[in-house]
Amino acid sequence: MSTGQIIQLVLQGLVFVAWAGLMFRTLFLLRARAADQTGAGLPGPGSFLTQASHWLRSDEDRAERKTLGFMTFVLIAMTLSTAFLGAPTAG
């Protein structure tokens, strides 16, 4: 494995870890909000979807939405560049 491939793999791994952390944080936030709204320890999918809809339109969550959207775009772009352009080769 060349140095370029190692760097690309490490960068893609770091982006994925950051994206996964943001995604889990968002999912746990939505679950907590749904639990607060319903009073149930395990709210159903309807209340989760209500909270997801609120999160997508809320001004207070705008920064998190933008960050998660940007990280999703970067992760997809890195994956597609590897798939279509190929991994960097030693040369």
pLDDT digits (tens, 9 = 90+) for 41-82: 888 888 999 999 999 999 999 999 999 999 999 999 998 888
Q: Is residue 91 part of a domain?
A: no
User: 22: part of which helix (H) or strand (E)?
Assistant: helix 3-38
Contact call for residues 71 and 19 (beta carbons, < 8 A)? yes
Is position 78 within any domain? yes
Question: pTM of the entire structure?
Answer: 0.80
Tell me which residue range forms the domain holding 56: 22-85
Query: Does 53 fall in a domain?
Result: yes
Number of structural domains the chain divides into = 1
Does residue 9 fall inside a structural domain? no
The helix (run of H) or strand (run of E) holding residue 80 is helix 62-85
Rounded Cα–Cα distance for residues 43 and 14 (Å): 32
pLDDT grade, residue 88 (50/70/90)? low
